[in-house]
Amino acid sequence: MGKVVKASADVAAIDLKAAAELLFGRTEEICEQTEPYGEPVCHTEEEHYTGRFLAQLAGLSGAVELSVGAADAETITVRDIGLGNQTSKILFDKGAGAAEILAVDLNAALGRRLEMTVTKVGEKAQVSFAPGLALRVAHDLQALADQFEGITGWALKGVTEVELSGTQPAVLLDGGPNDSGVKVVAGALSLSASDMIGQSNVSLSAEANQCVWEPYVETVDENAHPFSRLVVGACQ
């Protein structure tokens, strides 16, 4: 006989504030043994930040159901997945007014809710969505670039979108060549990246029975969006 385990969450909209110094600032004493029998040499390393983060979270919901069959067949269903009834945002304020650095929308045109089902297929996992998946993430981290290292290229600014549409759309994880990427089992998968600084827009589309994966290359352009490294083709 199979077993079913259930859990659910429904968090209302909430606003949070936190100083950048509190989240990322640090003072650390570093000690090094320079001589085999001598005293360690110590120095202090400090990192300090100004400004504060403001999070406007529109909510979070989901109800998880795990089903385990007699033959160890497992299915995980998460119903009513949502990020609230409006766009969730994070802003950064250095004292001259808050700048929006992140905005996230989930299924904005599909009722802002979805159901996701994960099913074992051999040693892999098939993920299906109802009525579909439409995730949009817009970011603009220029307000942080003067304090945080490594924010360059596509990471400075852009809009990333993932959409899986059609009738009972589904993908098979690690379903591409050499057990990598994803295979579109049903529906259509669209990936796009736009509105970047100094980078070309990226747009990829895959239909049912096509795969999306990242082929091996010796050198990677870290400034280019990760979607630019993906290819679409026949599944091998």
Mean per-residue pLDDT over the chain, rounded? 92
For residue 34, being part of any structural domain is answered with: no
Per DSSP, 23 falls in state H
**Domain for residue 164, yes or no?**
yes
- Whether residue 33 is contained in a domain is answered as no
| Among candidate residues 154, 152, 151, the one with its CA nearest the CA of residue 224 | 154
pLDDT at 176 over 90: no
- Average pLDDT on 165-185 reads 92
d(CA 83, CA 103): 11
Evaluate whether residue 193 is within a structural domain.
Answer: yes
44 lies in some domain: no
Domain count across the chain:
1
Q: Label residues 81-112 b or e (16+ Cβ within 10 Å = b).
A: bbbbeebbbbbbbbeeebbbbbbbbbbeeeeb
Instruction: For residue 103, give Cα distances in angstroms to 26, 30, 89, 200, 204.
Output: 28, 38, 4, 21, 22
Residue 58 lies in a domain: yes
Q: 9-61: per-residue pLDDT in tens?
A: 888 999 999 999 999 999 999 999 888 888 889 999 999 999 999 999 999 99
pLDDT at 39: 87
pLDDT score for 208: 95
- Residue 190 lies in domain: 3-18+53-234
This prediction has a pTM of 0.88
Residue 226 confidence (pLDDT) above 70: yes
Round to whole Å and give the CA distance between 6 and 148: 41
151 assigned to some structural domain: yes
Per-residue confidence (pLDDT) for residue 236, from 0 to 100: 73
Convert the pLDDT of each residue in 86-117 to its tens digit: 999 999 999 888 999 999 999 999 999 999 99
Give the pLDDT mean for 176-186.
91
Query: Considering only CA atoms, which of 76, 94, 77, 83 is closest in space to residue 12?
Result: 83
Residue 104 inside a domain? The answer is yes
Does residue 226 have a cis peptide bond before it, meaning omega lies within 30 degrees of 0?
no
Give per-residue pLDDT as tens, 48-78. 999 999 999 999 999 998 876 655 568 899 9
| Amino acid present at 210 | Q
Q: Tell me the per-residue pLDDT of 121-158, one tens digit each, with 9 for 90 and over.
A: 888 999 999 999 999 999 999 999 999 988 999 999 99
Is the pLDDT at 4 greater than 90, yes or no?
no
When pLDDT is cut at 50, 70 and 90, the band that residue 1 belongs to is very low
